[in-house]
């Protein structure tokens, strides 16, 4: 197809050839093409098949207002080809077709529309119930837009930015640019968002006169140049605004250009004031086959020629209701389009100059006429025109039918911001009535049409926004208001909703194949509000949301209900206003995690590092996921474990003890010097949220640990529960400041003796003791003698910077005993054998301190009461019907149930928290939370494991600890 190459409005570069693949052929597009215009230039007219009826669909709006031109591009479904710039080598596929878009084997669906009235899914396929799953499968197969492969990998770079601005202007047309320039002149920082890849809006492609011999497109370029030269305006082009939230938070998606380092990015803007200048789209004309390829809106036809150099057809008929249609007809006629008829819905009110020019061009002009039927199976061949009363008809051959009923302000951003809209009888549009604070509207959105008025309203909005930001602009405001008043106001709009047709094939929503007839069916069934009609007919629920049906649907409903005041409102729109990649929402997908100070040492010792909460930790030290060697080495010899992820805190100050008393269930005044106190925290429901140890390092000075998962919340928790008290204490989170080695096993002391600068004999440093000493005459160590894994063990806390050195020293000292690392999994088995719980493994949200058998950690007689959780602990002490933690061993040790398997009889009685094969006991053992009567020793537990195929597993409740019940090994 030859391009018009001399037009000054063009946005293409014919010298740049771009190839694309479609239907196993290579086609050529040129620089500046969208995918859609490139296909159009190559003679493609049918882009897709519709959702339900598989009707052929083609170019209609050129702004992605409907799913007509959504296609699969390089494996990505539902790409809006009208808004996506062509890139070399793109592979394009039509959607919802079997065969090709031109010859779709499902095309017969169009003749079955009688079988699919409004709401037919809900009404026909639910009785008898078993039909539904079968029907659902077929419906899914036949209907739908693009498909995505489950293992599809989204390539590309996605980013996010969070800029702040004084004024954010949405829409880079004449009104938006005027507003931005006006606000910027006041010295304010302005962000300007434009969804197309250039500024200019509805001036950009028009050759009509602006004033004094300047054309509109020249004016647009002049404004755009000034904007780009204004340093305090940050313009984002190819950036669709998608969300507006209170406090003037605006979100947008930007498509990256050639030189950008991202493909798409999410932009979240905080602005003090917002100007919405999104302009208008066209209101579709409703007649039979109104979406047949070859039927398109005014600006679609006009922009194809003026922006992309493509004459939209050869022989055209216009059926319009707005002067823009007359202007486009004249301009396109000048560019070589043969136009036989221009049917104008309006009886009068046209610009006389345009009408006279049409006559000069010998284009027949019909007032009060409208298209009622487009002929042609796959594209328009002929159109039937009719008087709007339906009294006279005339058939006209054509291959292009430019059809549009009028203008629709793009109020989506205002609706999202909860502005109030009202129907305006003069323009026939929904116009902003009440705007949220610090939000202003300008331009065609206000019903304006005159170029100077549009700019003046932009100036005014820019000044009002500046005033919001504290600029002194009273005089300017007054002057601009007066100027705007002297300029032409909103023009009378065409109000025709539906051509005189029955409407069986008149589509009010293209995305969902909703016809006028469907809407009538819904109304007849009693859905008498637009929102209900929308839900029942699905009109407006497709990817175009509001674009096609948004204005016509409420008008049609109002007309049907004989509501002359049109109290109906456009249905709700939701963000994102335009479809966006989930990849863009996901952004860079930063996988940020913490590494312990012994990370490198562990890794070089063969540690297999896995993500665990916010940390990366060593899970295993061999390929054996059962960790037999690691476990047995701790039981029989000595192992070392990186426990640096433990939460570690210092709390000090005159009221430190009070704070400890408040949050810990136990009596924290009973902490002896040189001794560790095991303690637990509950929430106000008495549910256990944390356990750890506390030591007293000095007067009003404590050091304590929390479980890994609670480290991030502990300061917040202390401060929250003391927020009314005004106590004087300080807290510092030392989690990252200290590393921890757990040295465990019968030979642990022999290793420690070699490096410690102090006596660590059992007498000098007994079980549950706390000591501070140095290692190698330098490294300051806080040592806690604990026994989480059930063996003689020392937790050595050292400043993180010493961790790697200490790790090396301990490893070196342990060499002669064949010391080994052990990882998380080995620790998990070891502590389970010892019956030690991990909060979150043996407890869940509802588990109280009583339930896990840690009641001894609660001091019911604590003075200075008001302990968090104490009230609930008292009240649930003897509560029945709770779950209780019980140990069990399996009858068949060769099959260990998976964690999370459920305990059943005739109902669910509990679940397995953890179960493992114990190498030391040669049994399969575990811990389970079960209904308390089942926790009695000797009870047989029936365990249902996933995919057990009815073969239950059996275990018996036994006392814990399973291993070393007297606790001799901890005290060795």
Partner 1 sequence: MALTITCPICDKRNGYEFRYGGVDKGPRPDEEGLTPTSWCDHVHMNKCVAGIQKEWWFHRDGCGAWFTIYRDTTTNLEVDKPEAN
Closer Cβ to partner 1, 570 or 686, answer by number: 686
> At its nearest, how many Å lie between partner 1 and the CB of residue 733?
9
Which of 124, 875 has the CB closer to partner 1? 875
- Residue 446 or 663: which CB sits closer to partner 1? 663
Give least dist CB 875 to partner 1, A.
5
In angstroms, what is the minimal distance from the CB of 537 to partner 1?
Answer: 32
For residues 246 and 604, which CB has a smaller minimum distance to partner 1 in the complex?
A: 246
In angstroms, the Cα distances linking 813 to 750, 753, 898 are 9, 9, 38
**Beta carbon of residue 476, minimum distance to partner 1 (angstroms, whole number):** 29
Q: Is-contact 53 125, C-beta < 8 A?
A: no
Separation between Cα atoms, residue 649 and residue 716, nearest integer Å? 12
Question: Which pairing describes strands 164-170 and 264-276: parallel, antiparallel, or unpaired?
Answer: parallel
Sign, CA dihedral 470-475-479-481, equals: positive
Longest dimension (CA), the chain: 114
- Give the dihedral sign, CA 342/346/348/353: negative
What are the residues binding partner 1 (CB under 8 A)? 162, 245-247, 249, 270, 684-685, 715-716, 719-720, 723-725, 865-866, 870-872, 874-875
Strands 507-509 and 594-595: unpaired
| Reduced 3-state DSSP string for 39-94 | HHHCCCCCCEECCCCCCEECCCCCCCCCHHHEEEECCEEEEECCCCECCCCEEEEC
What is the rounded distance in angstroms from the CA atom of residue 38 to the CA atom of residue 200?
22
d(CA 477, CA 481): 6
Instruction: Write down the least CB distance from residue 196 to partner 1, Å.
Output: 27
**Minimum CB distance to partner 1 smaller for 293 or for 413:** 413
615-620 and 608-612 beta bridge pairing: antiparallel
Secondary structure of the chain: what % helix, strand, coil (to 5)? 25, 30, 45
In whole angstroms, the minimum distance from the beta carbon of 242 to partner 1 comes to: 14
Is residue 430 classed as helix, strand or coil in its secondary structure? strand
Nearest-approach distance from CB 190 to partner 1, in angstroms: 20
474 vs 728, which CB is nearer to partner 1?
728
Which residue, 737, 744, 893, is CA-closest to 831? 744
Minimum distance between the CB of residue 776 and partner 1, rounded to whole angstroms?
36
Task: From residue 847, give the alpha-carbon distance in Å to each of 145, 842, 862, 876, 937.
Answer: 47, 9, 22, 11, 21
Residue of 554, 544, 48, 63 whose CA lies nearest to 280: 63
Quote the tokens at residue 123.
Answer: 């009404």
d(CA 751, CA 758): 13
Beta bridge partners, 925, equal 889, 916
- What are the strands, taking DSSP E only, across 556-652? 594-595, 608-612, 615-620, 639-642, 647-652
Closest to partner 1 by CB, 428 or 686: 686
Q: Which is nearer to partner 1, 47 or 717 (CB)?
A: 717
- In the complex, the smallest distance separating the C-beta of residue 243 from partner 1, rounded to whole angstroms, is 9
β-sheet bridge partners, residue 48: 57
Burial class of 750 by CB neighbour count within 10 A (0 to 12, 13 to 18, 19+):
middle
To partner 1, the closest distance from the beta carbon of 596 in angstroms equals 22
* Beta pairing class for 639-642 and 738-744: antiparallel
Within the chain, how many helices (H) and strands (E) appear?
23, 51
Q: What does the alpha-carbon distance between residue 623 and residue 619 come to, in Å, rounded to a whole number?
A: 10
- CB of 860: closest distance to partner 1 in angstroms? 11
Q: Is 944 left (phi over 0), alpha (psi -120 to 50) or beta?
A: beta
Nearer of residues 122 and 162 to partner 1, judged by Cβ: 162
> In the complex, what is the shortest distance from the CB of residue 595 to partner 1, in angstroms, rounded to a whole number?
21
Nearer to partner 1, 640 or 651 (CB): 651
Q: DSSP code of 443?
A: G
Q: How far is CA 170 from the centre of its chain?
A: 21
Q: Which is nearer to partner 1, 426 or 874 (CB)?
A: 874
Of 247, 280, 572, residue with least CA distance to 439: 247
Give the pairing type, strands 90-93 and 70-73.
antiparallel
Which residue's CB is nearer to partner 1, number 393 or number 874?
874
Smallest gap from residue 687 Cβ to partner 1 (A)? 11
Name which of 5 and 247 has its Cβ closer to partner 1.
247
Q: Which residue, 720 or 856, has its beta carbon nearer to partner 1? A: 720
Smaller CB distance to partner 1: residue 225 or 874?
874
**With respect to partner 1, which residue has the nearer C-beta, 443 or 647?**
647
Judged by beta carbon, residue 574 or residue 866, the one nearer partner 1 is: 866
* CA 199/CA 875 separation, integer angstroms: 68
Give least dist CB 690 to partner 1, A.
Answer: 17
Q: Closest approach of Cβ 654 to partner 1, in Å?
A: 20
CB of 723 to partner 1, least distance (A): 5
Choice between 524 and 716, CB closer to partner 1: 716
The pair of three-digit structure tokens given for residue 723, joined into one six-digit string: 């927020």
Cα(7)–Cα(314) distance, rounded to whole angstroms?
A: 19
Closest contact distance (angstroms) between CB of 869 and partner 1 is: 10
Smallest separation, CB 309 to partner 1 (Å): 43
Alpha-carbon distances, residue 326 vs 300, 380, 393, 395, 725 (angstroms): 14, 21, 21, 21, 75
Contacts of 229 (CB under 8 A, 6+ apart): none
Kind and range of the H or E run holding 395? strand 393-397
Q: How far apart are CA 926 and CA 957, in angstroms?
A: 9
């Amino acid at each position: 197809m030859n391009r018009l190459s001399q037009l000054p409005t063009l946005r293409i570069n014919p010298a740049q050839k771009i190839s694309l693949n479609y239907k196993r052929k290579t086609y050529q597009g040129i620089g500046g093409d969208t995918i859609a215009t490139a296909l159009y230039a190559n003679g493609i007219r049918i882009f897709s098949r519709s959702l339900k009826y598989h009707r052929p669909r083609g170019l209609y709006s050129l702004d992605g207002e409907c799913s007509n031109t959504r296609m699969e591009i390089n494996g990505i479904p539902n790409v809006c080809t009208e808004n996506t710039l062509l890139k070399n080598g793109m592979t394009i596929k039509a959607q919802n077709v079997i065969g090709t878009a031109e010859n779709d084997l499902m095309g017969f669906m169009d003749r079955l529309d009688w079988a699919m009235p409004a709401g037919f899914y809900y009404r026909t396929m639910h009785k008898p119930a078993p039909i539904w799953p079968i029907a659902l499968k077929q419906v899914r197969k036949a209907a739908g837009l693009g498909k995505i492969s489950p293992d599809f990998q989204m390539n590309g770079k996605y980013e996010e930015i969070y800029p702040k601005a004084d004024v954010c202007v949405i829409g880079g047309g004449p009104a938006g640019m005027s507003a931005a320039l006006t606000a910027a002149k006041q010295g304010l920082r302005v962000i300007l968002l434009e969804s197309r890849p250039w500024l200019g809006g509805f001036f950009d492609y028009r050759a009509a006169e602006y004033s004094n011999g300047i054309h509109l497109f020249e004016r647009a370029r002049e404004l755009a140049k000034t904007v780009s030269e204004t340093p305090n305006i940050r313009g984002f082009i190819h950036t669709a605004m998608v969300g507006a939230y209170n406090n003037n938070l605006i979100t947008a998606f930007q498509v990256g250009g050639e030189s950008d380092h991202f493909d798409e990015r999410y932009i979240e803007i905080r602005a003090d004031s917002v100007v919405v200048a999104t302009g208008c789209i066209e209101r579709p004309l409703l007649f039979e086959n109104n979406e047949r390829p070859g039927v398109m809106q005014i600006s679609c036809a006009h922009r194809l020629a003026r922006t992309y150099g493509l004459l939209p057809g050869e022989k055209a008929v216009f059926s319009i209701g707005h002067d823009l249609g007359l202007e486009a007809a004249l301009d396109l006629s000048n560019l070589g389009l043969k136009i036989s008829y221009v049917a104008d819905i309006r009886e009068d009110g046209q610009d006389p100059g345009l009408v006279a020019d049409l006559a000069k061009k010998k284009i027949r002009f019909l007032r009060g006429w409208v298209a009622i039927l487009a002929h042609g199976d796959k594209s328009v061949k002929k159109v039937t025109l009719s008087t709007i009363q339906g009294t006279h008809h005339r058939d006209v051959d054509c291959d292009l039918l430019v059809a549009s009923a009028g203008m629709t302000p793009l109020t989506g951003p205002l609706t999202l911001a909860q502005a109030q809209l009202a129907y305006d009888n003069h323009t026939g549009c929904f116009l902003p009535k009440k705007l949220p604070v610090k939000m202003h509207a300008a331009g065609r959105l206000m019903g304006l049409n005159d170029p100077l008025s549009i700019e003046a309203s932009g100036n005014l909005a820019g000044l009002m926004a500046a005033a919001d930001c504290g600029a002194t602009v009273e005089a300017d405001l007054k002057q601009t208001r007066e100027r705007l008043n002297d300029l032409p106001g909103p023009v009378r709009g065409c109000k025709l909703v539906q051509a005189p047709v029955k409407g069986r094939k008149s589509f009010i929503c293209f995305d969902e194949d909703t016809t006028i007839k469907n809407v009538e069916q819904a109304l007849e069934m009693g859905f008498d509000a637009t929102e209900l009609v929308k839900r029942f007919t699905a009109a407006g629920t497709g990817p175009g949301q509001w674009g096609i049906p948004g204005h016509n649907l409420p008008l049609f409903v109002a007309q049907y209900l004989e509501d002359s005041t049109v109290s109906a409102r456009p249905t709700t729109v939701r963000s994102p206003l335009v479809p966006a990649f989930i990849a863009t929402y996901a952004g860079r997908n930063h996988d940020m995690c913490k590494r312990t100070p012994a990370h490198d040492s562990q890794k070089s010792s063969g540690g297999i590092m896995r993500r665990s909460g916010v940390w990366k930790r060593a899970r295993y030290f061999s390929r054996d996921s059962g960790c037999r060697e690691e476990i047995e080495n701790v039981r029989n010899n000595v192992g070392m474990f990186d426990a640096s992820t433990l939460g570690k805190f210092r709390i000090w100050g005159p009221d430190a003890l009070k704070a400890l008393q408040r949050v810990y269930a136990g009596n924290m005044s009973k902490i002896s010097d040189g001794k560790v106190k095991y303690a637990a925290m509950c929430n106000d429901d008495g549910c256990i949220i944390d356990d750890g140890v506390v030591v007293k390092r000095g007067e009003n000075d404590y050091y304590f640990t929390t479980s890994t998962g609670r480290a991030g919340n502990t300061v917040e928790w202390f401060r929250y529960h003391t927020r009314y008290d005004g106590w004087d204490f300080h807290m510092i989170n030392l989690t990252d400041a200290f590393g921890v080695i757990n040295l465990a096993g019968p030979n642990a002391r022999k290793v420690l003796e070699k490096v410690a600068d102090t006596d660590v004999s059992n007498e000098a440093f007994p079980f549950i003791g706390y000591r501070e000493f140095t290692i190698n005459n330098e490294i300051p160590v806080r040592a806690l003698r604990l026994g989480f894994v059930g063996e003689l063990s020392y937790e050595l806390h050292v400043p993180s910077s010493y961790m790697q050195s200490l790790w090396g020293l301990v490893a070196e000292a342990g060499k002669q005993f064949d010391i080994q690392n052990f990882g998380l999994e080995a620790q998990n088995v070891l502590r389970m054998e010892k019956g030690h719980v991990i909060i979150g493994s043996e407890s869940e949200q509802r588990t109280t301190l009583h339930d896990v058998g840690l009641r001894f950690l609660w001091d019911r007689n604590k003075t200075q009461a008001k302990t968090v959780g104490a009230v609930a602990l008292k009240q649930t002490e003897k509560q029945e019907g709770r779950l209780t933690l019980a140990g069990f061993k399996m009858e068949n040790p060769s099959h260990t149930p998976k964690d999370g398997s459920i305990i059943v009889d005739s109902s669910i009685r509990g679940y397995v928290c953890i179960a493992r094969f114990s190498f030391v006991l040669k049994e399969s053992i575990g811990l389970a939370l079960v209904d308390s009567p089942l926790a009695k020793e000797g009870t047989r537990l029936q365990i249902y494991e996933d995919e057990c195929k009815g073969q239950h597993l059996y275990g018996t409740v036994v006392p814990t600890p399973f291993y070393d019940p007297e606790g001799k090994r901890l005290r060795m």
